């Protein structure tokens, strides 16, 4: 029985998907520029061994006969109208990482190659009901970043890369089919140096099938140990040891707008795109953010930044966008914005919600934190406050106003004497004429006193608090300073 | 099949007629005072704007709402105080049993912000206490708030001065508060859907004794003997340090 189960585990084979981005260098540079350029022939060039060579080019350029590895001068001679852009490795890497983040939604094992991604898909079909649905959704999401992608599927990473075709395929080939096409793959695609390739030619080996037919011991005598290693990896006899992709510990992304944006409304579109990427990141890391920082950079002059604080539970794209929009209303921006960046490095673990049968409690809690966030974003930090208590005797110190904090604080014991609901920020001196107190109108003392002493270490205060009322029935909290014998009003019993 | 929140919102509205529901107003929250409950046909209307008009502050306009405030705060609802005329005194609120972390005091710079914050609070299902001292909202503004309140599941209270009585109000409930004497409120019903205006009741807010104490008959002050401050409490005089040469 046990043996049988072990066999079963052995039978479960990896399914590796390799997604190649042949035009990655072009896509990385073009995503940020406008679409009018897409009509012309464009190529990316970079310096290789002191010669500017074409790295990749679009379809229009291909029609002219431009191809990778062509030197720039030749390319310009063939096609004088060729628009040549220089390669930007940083942007390429950023694009590849955002693609990896998308892929991470579909598979827990993602490996980044220099121009493509590997995904291990075995078992991932359950969530998406079938492999073809998974592949369709994956492709749709990748297209949202406007990249060209082609795929290959096989039982090991290396063979998937070798089998990478010309388009994004939506069906999962069966094992025999994969084996068959792998054996028919030409040998020059196999990684290795020129000497090894010549060697293959001399031996009359053309396809991988020819090579695999030879015994390993014979191959190890004729070829370097690297080839044997490659074959082992190709057959999936050894697990792939490349580093798996994990989302970075902080999020930072940007969008460049070379033509500049002049109004706040036009900023929102790019901000939404960035927030969508950010939400993808949050779901990949399974956490919530505490605050995000926006930076708006003009070509000249100082950049403006704004921070948005979140109380926790509302981390979806639309509420983040609403908050950013509200906050943006209060921000003075430079005339034209050329780069928008979003940054976040404060995260909290996603709270584990236990769902109520009638889900009232959670919505209530969500609503209040959303409300606080909205008020914060529009009115600013200074506009919101909360009464809080501290262990002091003097009323102006005992009840203070502090920034909102949503957790319950310890409450100190309070006096049993009547206390007013309203407190004047500062005690106001009141006049006294012939045994009569006046503040707005004549006041009469109806009860008291309650003696409060405090602050003896700074300036000694001794106050006798009384309850007073006026002719209309309003009640006041007044006190008499023992030292100066002055009367003050300090609060109202609302 | 309609989605759950949509149906829930529809059913929680006051103006949705439901077959066997005979009583005129079911969505009320008790005031904590029986005679006031009778006056208001059961309590403060939920999902509606209520206006409390008083000539001056300090007569007990907030005290009659304390039971409601306590109840809402203990139900984990956020209570937003918009532009209160004075600073809320925390020890008094604590002794009334109100959790302070459920209160949020919001100060606005202008009437636009005030209206926006009030609407946000209502739509966020918070309990709203809004004061109109600094801002004089127009009829259309209040109408907007009343409409927002009709969709929410919380009561909203507006505190205004008697100056607003000249104009009509879109609020569902409008009462006038006067102090008969200290701790006794006279409440006049000015407007309530489903009841004729003009009814008056007296509400006691606690201790009614109004024994007046003359200033010269106050308990004698106990004077502390003026102690001379010990030397070590005096601020140190800055002294010039001389280097030993």
Same domain, A78 and A192: no
Domain presence at residue B225:
no
Q: Which of B151, B167, B204, B152 is nearest to B51 (CA)?
A: B167
Cα separation, B96 vs B76, whole angstroms: 16
Which residue in B56, B101, B108 is closest to A406 by CB distance? B101
- Count of alpha carbons within 13 angstroms of residue B151, beta-carbon side: 13
In whole angstroms, how far apart are CA B37 and each of A280, B44, B170, B171? 52, 8, 22, 18
Residue of A nearest to B211 (CA): A446
pLDDT value, residue B182: 73
Question: In which residue are the tokens 């001068």 written?
Answer: A73
pLDDT value, residue B39: 87
Q: What's the structural domain count of chain B?
A: 1
Q: What is the Cα Rg of chain B in Å?
A: 25
Domain presence at residue A443:
yes
Domain presence at residue A32:
yes
Domain presence at residue A334:
yes
Chain B residues with beta carbon closer than 8 angstroms to that of A383: 106-109, 113
* CATH number of the CATH domain containing A354: 3.30.1490.100
Same domain, A309 and A224: no
Domain presence at residue A383:
no
Share of chain B above pLDDT 70, in %: 77
Domain presence at residue A390:
no
**Per-residue H/E/C for chain A:** CHHHHHHHHHHCCCCEEEEECCCHHHHHHHCCCCHHHHHCCEEEEEEECCEEEEEEECHHHHHHCCCCCCEHHHHHHHCCCCEEEECCHHHHHHHHHHHHHHHHCCCCCEEECCCEEEEECCCCHHHHCCHHHHHHHHHHHHHCCCCCCEEEEECCHHHHHHCCCCCCCCCCCCHHHHHHHHHHCEHHHCCCCHHHHHHHHHHCCCEHHHHHHCCHHHHHHHCCHHHHHHHHHHCCCCCCCCCCCCCCCCEEEEEEEEEEECCHHHHHHHHHHHHHHHHHHHHHHCEEEEEEEEEEECCCCCCEEEEEECCCCCCCHHHHHHHHHHHHHCCCCCCCEEEEEEEEEEEEECCCCCCCCCCHHHHHHHHHHHHHHHHHHHHCHHHEEEEEECCCCCHHHHEEEECCCCCCCCCCCCCCCCCCCEEEEEEEEEEEECCEEEECEEEEEEEEEEEEEECCCCCCEEEEEEEEEECCCCEEEEEEECCCCCEEEEEECC
- Count of alpha carbons within 13 angstroms of residue A457, beta-carbon side: 2
Q: Tokens for A5, please give them.
A: 């189960």
Q: What's the structural domain count of chain A?
A: 4
Q: Do A473 and B80 touch (CB under 8 A)?
A: no
- Give residue B157's domain range: 24-205
pLDDT value, residue A454: 66
Is residue A212 a contact partner of residue A191, using CB atoms and an 8 Å limit? no
Q: Do A460 and B224 touch (CB under 8 A)?
A: yes
Cα separation, A241 vs A196, whole angstroms: 24
Q: ipTM of this predicted complex?
A: 0.77
Chain A: give the shortest CA distance to residue B242, in Å. 32
Residues 6+ apart with CB under 8 A from A128: A106, A134, A137
Average pLDDT rounded to a whole number, residues B53-66? 88
Tens-level pLDDT at each residue, chain A (494 residues): 444 444 444 456 788 999 999 888 888 887 655 555 567 888 888 888 888 888 888 888 888 888 888 888 888 888 888 888 888 888 888 889 889 988 998 888 899 988 889 998 888 888 888 888 899 999 998 888 888 889 999 888 888 888 888 888 888 888 888 889 888 888 888 887 888 888 888 888 888 888 888 888 888 888 888 888 888 888 888 888 888 888 888 888 888 888 888 888 888 888 998 998 898 888 888 888 888 899 998 888 888 888 888 766 667 788 888 888 888 888 888 888 888 999 998 888 776 655 555 555 555 566 777 888 888 888 887 888 888 887 777 777 776 677 776 566 666 666 667 788 888 888 888 888 777 888 888 888 877 777 776 666 666 677 888 888 888 888 888 888 877 778 888 888 87
Cα separation, A108 vs A101, whole angstroms: 11
Cα separation, A446 vs B235, whole angstroms: 42
Same domain, A330 and A357: yes
Q: Do A473 and B182 touch (CB under 8 A)?
A: yes
Same domain, A157 and A194: no
Which residue in A386, A423, A447 is closest to B89 by CB distance? A423
pLDDT value, residue B224: 44
- Interchain contact A247–B (C-beta under 8 A): no
Chain A residues with beta carbon closer than 8 angstroms to that of B78: 368, 371-372
Backbone angles phi, psi at A196, to 5 degrees: -65, -40
Helices (H) and strands (E) in chain B, counts: 6, 11
Same domain, A169 and A23: yes
- Interchain contact A413–B (C-beta under 8 A): no
Q: Do A399 and B89 touch (CB under 8 A)?
A: yes
Same domain, A168 and A206: no
Same domain, A270 and A349: yes
Domain presence at residue A10:
no
Polymer length in residues for chain B: 245
Same domain, A277 and A172: no
Chain B residues 167-186 with a CB less than 8 Å from chain A: 178-184
Chain B: give the shortest CA distance to residue A181, in Å. 50
Report whether pLDDT(B245) > 60. Answer: no
Q: Which ranges of chain B does DSSP label H, i.e. alpha helix? A: 4-12, 34-39, 66-74, 90-95, 111-123, 139-151
Cα separation, A454 vs A451, whole angstroms: 10
Chain A residues with beta carbon closer than 8 angstroms to that of B124: 367-368, 370-371, 374
Chain A residues with beta carbon closer than 8 angstroms to that of B104: 372, 375, 384-386, 404
pLDDT value, residue A11: 55
Residue of B nearest to A422 (CA): B88
Residue of A nearest to B82 (CA): A384
Is residue B129 a contact partner of residue B81, using CB atoms and an 8 Å limit? yes
Domain presence at residue B243:
no
* CATH number of the CATH domain containing A104: 3.40.1170.60
Is residue B97 a contact partner of residue B70, using CB atoms and an 8 Å limit? yes
- Interchain contact A232–B (C-beta under 8 A): no
Domain presence at residue B169:
yes
Same domain, A204 and A74: no
In whole angstroms, how far apart are CA B206 and each of A69, A417, B117, B182? 92, 13, 34, 10
In whole angstroms, how far apart are CA A155 and each of A16, A364, A464, B75, B129? 6, 50, 87, 57, 66
Same domain, A324 and A434: no
Same domain, A159 and A221: no
Report whether pLDDT(B122) > 80. Answer: yes
Same domain, A452 and A467: yes
Q: Do B218 and A466 touch (CB under 8 A)?
A: yes
Chain A residues 321-380 with a CB less than 8 Å from chain B: 361, 364-365, 367-368, 370-372, 374-375, 378-379
Chain A residues with beta carbon closer than 8 angstroms to that of B72: none
Cα separation, A472 vs B180, whole angstroms: 7
Q: What is the Cα Rg of chain A in Å?
A: 36
- Give residue A434's domain range: 422-492
Domain presence at residue B228:
no
Test the B interface: residue of A406, A433, A436, A473 with most B CBs within 10 Å: A473
In whole angstroms, how far apart are CA A318 and each of A24, A98, A154, A278? 30, 20, 39, 12
Q: Do B100 and A368 touch (CB under 8 A)?
A: no
Domain presence at residue B63:
yes
Domain end among A346, A378, A410: A378
Domain presence at residue B58:
yes
Domain presence at residue B238:
no
In whole angstroms, how far apart are CA A228 and each of A191, A205, A389, B1? 12, 16, 74, 62
Which residue in B80, B86, B213 is closest to A446 by CB distance? B213
What SS3 state is found at B245? coil
Domain presence at residue B121:
yes
Chain A: give the shortest CA distance to residue B10, in Å. 15
Domain presence at residue A133:
yes
pLDDT value, residue A9: 46
Decide: residue A350, CB within 10 A, 0-12 exposed, 13-18 middle, 19+ buried: middle
Q: Which of A43, A90, A34, A40 is nearest to A60 (CA)?
A: A40
Q: Tokens for A135, please give them.
A: 């592949």
Q: Do B182 and A446 touch (CB under 8 A)?
A: yes
- Interchain contact B188–A (C-beta under 8 A): no
- pLDDT tens digits for B132-187? 988 888 899 999 999 999 888 889 999 998 888 888 889 989 999 988 877 788 99
Cα separation, B165 vs B54, whole angstroms: 10
Cα separation, A75 vs A293, whole angstroms: 44
Q: Do B124 and A368 touch (CB under 8 A)?
A: yes
Chain B residues 8-67 with a CB less than 8 Å from chain A: 55-63
What SS3 state is found at B94? helix
* CATH number of the CATH domain containing B144: 3.40.50.300
Is residue A481 a contact partner of residue A488, using CB atoms and an 8 Å limit? yes
Q: Do B213 and A445 touch (CB under 8 A)?
A: yes
Instruction: Name the pairing type of β-strands A287-297 and B49-54.
Output: unpaired
What SS3 state is found at B87? strand
Q: Which of B49, B61, B57, B11 is nearest to B147 (CA)?
A: B49
pTM, to two decimals = 0.68
pLDDT value, residue A223: 84
Cα separation, A253 vs A343, whole angstroms: 7
Residue of A nearest to B179 (CA): A473
Instruction: Name the pairing type of β-strands B156-161 and B49-54.
Output: parallel
Determine the straight-line distance between the first and last CA of chain B, rounded to whole angstroms: 97
Q: Do A387 and B55 touch (CB under 8 A)?
A: no
Chain A residues 420-479 with a CB less than 8 Å from chain B: 420-425, 432, 435-437, 444-449, 460, 462, 464, 466, 469, 472-476
Chain B residues 94-153 with a CB less than 8 Å from chain A: 94-95, 99-101, 103-109, 113, 116-117, 120-121, 124-126
- pLDDT tens digits for B190-225? 988 878 888 888 888 776 555 666 666 666 454 444
Domain presence at residue A143:
yes
pLDDT value, residue B216: 63
Q: Tokens for A280, please give them.
A: 């993808």
Chain B residues with beta carbon closer than 8 angstroms to that of A406: 101
Chain B residues 207-226 with a CB less than 8 Å from chain A: 207, 209-216, 218-219, 221, 223-224
- Interchain contact A486–B (C-beta under 8 A): no
Which residue in A375, A416, A472 is closest to B117 by CB distance? A375
Cα separation, B6 vs B12, whole angstroms: 10
Does residue B238 or residue A255 have the better pLDDT?
Answer: A255
Domain end among A321, A348, A378: A378
pLDDT value, residue B218: 66
Q: Do A491 and B89 touch (CB under 8 A)?
A: yes
Chain B residues with beta carbon closer than 8 angstroms to that of A412: 91, 94
Q: Do B100 and A389 touch (CB under 8 A)?
A: yes
Cα separation, B60 vs B182, whole angstroms: 9
Test the A interface: residue of B12, B91, B156 with most A CBs within 10 Å: B91
């Amino acid at each position: 029985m046990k043996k049988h189960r072990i066999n079963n585990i052995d039978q479960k084979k990896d399914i590796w998907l390799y997604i190649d981005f042949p035009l990655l260098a072009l896509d990385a540079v073009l995503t940020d520029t406008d679409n009018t350029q897409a009509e012309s022939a464009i190529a990316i060039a970079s310096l290789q061994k002191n010669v500017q060579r074409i790295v990749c080019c679009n379809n229009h350029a291909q029609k002219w006969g431009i191809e990778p590895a062509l030197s720039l001068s030749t390319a310009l001679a063939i096609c004088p109208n060729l628009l040549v852009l220089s390669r930007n490795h940083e942007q390429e890497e950023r694009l590849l990482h955002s693609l990896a983040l998308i892929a991470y939604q579909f598979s827990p094992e993602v490996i980044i190659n220099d121009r493509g991604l590997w995904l291990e898909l075995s078992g991932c079909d359950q969530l998406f009901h079938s492999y073809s649905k998974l592949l369709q959704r994956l492709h749709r999401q990748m297209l949202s970043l406007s990249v060209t992608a082609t795929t290959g599927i096989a039982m090991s990473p290396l063979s998937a890369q070798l089998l990478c075709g010309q388009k994004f395929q939506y069906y999962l080939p069966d094992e025999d089919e994969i084996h068959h096409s792998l054996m028919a793959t030409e040998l020059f695609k196999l990684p290795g140096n020129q000497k090894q390739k010549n060697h293959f030619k001399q031996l009359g080996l053309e396809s991988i099938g020819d090579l695999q037919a030879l015994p390993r011991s014979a191959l190890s005598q004729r070829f370097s140990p690297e080839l044997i290693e490659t074959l082992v990896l190709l057959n999936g006899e050894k697990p792939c040891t490349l580093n798996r992709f994990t989302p970075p510990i902080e999020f930072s992304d940007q969008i460049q707008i070379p033509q500049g944006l002049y109004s706040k409304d036009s900023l929102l579109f790019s901000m939404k795109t960035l927030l969508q990427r950010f939400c993808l990141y949050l779901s990949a890391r399974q956490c919530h953010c505490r605050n995000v920082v926006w930076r708006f950079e003009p070509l000249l002059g100082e950049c403006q930044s704004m921070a948005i604080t979140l109380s926790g539970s509302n981390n979806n794209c639309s509420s983040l966008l609403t908050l950013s929009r509200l906050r943006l209303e209060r921000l003075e921006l430079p005339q034209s914005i050329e780069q928008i960046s979003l940054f976040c490095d404060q995260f909290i673990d996603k709270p584990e919600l236990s769902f109520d049968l009638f889900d009232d409690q959670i919505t209530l809690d969500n609503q209040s934190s959303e409300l606080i966030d909205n008020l914060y974003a529009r009115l600013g930090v200074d506009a919101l406050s909360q009464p809080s208590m501290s262990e002091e005797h003097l009323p102006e110190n005992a009840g203070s106003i502090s920034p909102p904090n949503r957790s319950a604080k310890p409450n100190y014991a309070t006096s049993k004497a009547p206390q007013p609901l309203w407190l004047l920020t500062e005690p106001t001196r009141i006049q006294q004429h012939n045994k009569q107190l006046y503040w707005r109108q004549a006041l009469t003392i109806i009860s008291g006193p309650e003696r409060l002493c405090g602050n003896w270490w700074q300036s000694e205060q001794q106050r006798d608090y009384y309850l007073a009322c006026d002719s209309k029935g309003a009640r006041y909290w007044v006190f008499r300073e023992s030292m100066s014998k002055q009367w003050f009003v300090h609060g109202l019993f609302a | 099949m309609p989605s759950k929140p949509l149906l829930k919102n529809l059913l929680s509205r006051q103006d949705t007629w439901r077959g066997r529901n005979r009583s005129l107003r079911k969505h009320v929250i008790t005031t904590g005072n029986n005679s006031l409950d009778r006056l208001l046909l059961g309590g403060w209307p939920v999902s509606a704007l209520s206006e409390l008009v008083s000539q001056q502050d300090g007569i007990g306009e907030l005290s009659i709402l304390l039971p409601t405030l306590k109840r809402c705060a203990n139900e984990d609802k956020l209570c937003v105080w918009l532009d209160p005329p004075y600073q809320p005194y925390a020890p008094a609120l604590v002794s009334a049993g109100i959790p302070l972390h459920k209160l949020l005091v919001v100060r606005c710079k202008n009437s636009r912000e005030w209206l926006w914050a009030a609407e946000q609070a209502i739509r966020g299902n918070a309990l709203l206490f809004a004061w109109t001292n600094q801002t004089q909202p127009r009829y259309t503004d209040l109408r907007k708030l009343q409409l927002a309140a009709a969709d929410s599941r919380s009561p909203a209270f507006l505190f205004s001065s008697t100056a607003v009585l000249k104009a009509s109000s879109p609020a569902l409930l409008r009462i006038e508060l006067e102090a008969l004497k200290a701790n006794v409120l006279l409440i006049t019903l000015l407007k309530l859907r489903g009841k004729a205006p003009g009814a008056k009741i007296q509400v006691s807010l606690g201790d009614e004794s109004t024994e007046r104490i003359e200033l010269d008959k106050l308990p004698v002050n106990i004077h502390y003997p003026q102690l001379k401050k010990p030397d070590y409490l005096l601020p140190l005089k800055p002294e010039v340090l001389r280097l030993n040469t």
